[in-house]
Structure 1
Amino acid sequence: MDKRVLFDFEVDFTNGGGIQGQEFRLDIDGDDISDEELATYIVKDMRLLMVGEVRILNKRIISEKHKRNPIDEVIDN
């Protein structure tokens, strides 16, 4: 069965301001993913610069068909 992670996030920028996301979904390869891996993925995939703290909130793993290539293929590139 395909797994996805459903979570909220907050990103603070070192030069002020920030962004947030609610009920964000990402395909994952496996049954779990760490908060650190999610934070790295968000920063890299969104091409964010001057990132300070990244907070992952309300994380849960759900069974749902994948929508794009597995997260490992994106982070390694």
Structure 2
Amino acid sequence: MDKRVLFDFEVDFTNGDGIQGQEFRLDIDDNDTSDEELAQYIVKDMRLLMVHEVRILNKKIINKKHKRQPIDENIKK
């Protein structure tokens, strides 16, 4: 993968708490990914509960290959 999306995010929880992430990078296959797809990924990957709202901010697509090899390439057969 040679494309990545760089973005900030804010998550509000139903109990009034929240979390934020700045300059988060994620590998993508296409030239774009929707804010909703990114929000769903964050919630699922971080196993967040009681999510009220997710905001994606400052999204940019960058051409930069990830430095780490995909996990399936690291497994010796």
The alignment's TM-score, normalised by the length of structure 2, stands at: 0.83
Q: What is the alpha-carbon distance in structure 2 between the residues aligned to residue 33 and residue 68 of structure 1? A: 22
What letter matches 1:19 in structure 2? I
Equivalent in the alignment of 2:30: 30
In the TM superposition, residue 68 of structure 1 has moved relative to its aligned partner by 6.3
Equivalent in the alignment of 2:18: 18
In the TM superposition, residue 5 of structure 1 has moved relative to its aligned partner by 0.2
Structure 1 segments unaligned to the other structure (5+ residues): 70-77
Aligned: 1:8 with 2:34: no
What letter matches 2:46 in structure 1? M
What letter matches 1:11 in structure 2? V
What secondary structure sits across from 1:9 in the alignment?
strand
Question: Number of residues paired by the alignment?
Answer: 69
Structure 2 segments unaligned to the other structure (5+ residues): 71-77
Aligned: 1:48 with 2:45: no
The alignment's TM-score, normalised by the length of structure 1, stands at: 0.83
What secondary structure sits across from 2:39 in the alignment?
helix
Q: Percent identity?
A: 83
Q: What is the alpha-carbon distance in structure 2 between the residues aligned to residue 42 and residue 36 of structure 1? A: 10
**Bigger Rg over Cα:** 2
Tell me: CA distance 1:13–1:32, structure 2 relative to 1, closer, same or farther (3 Å).
Answer: same
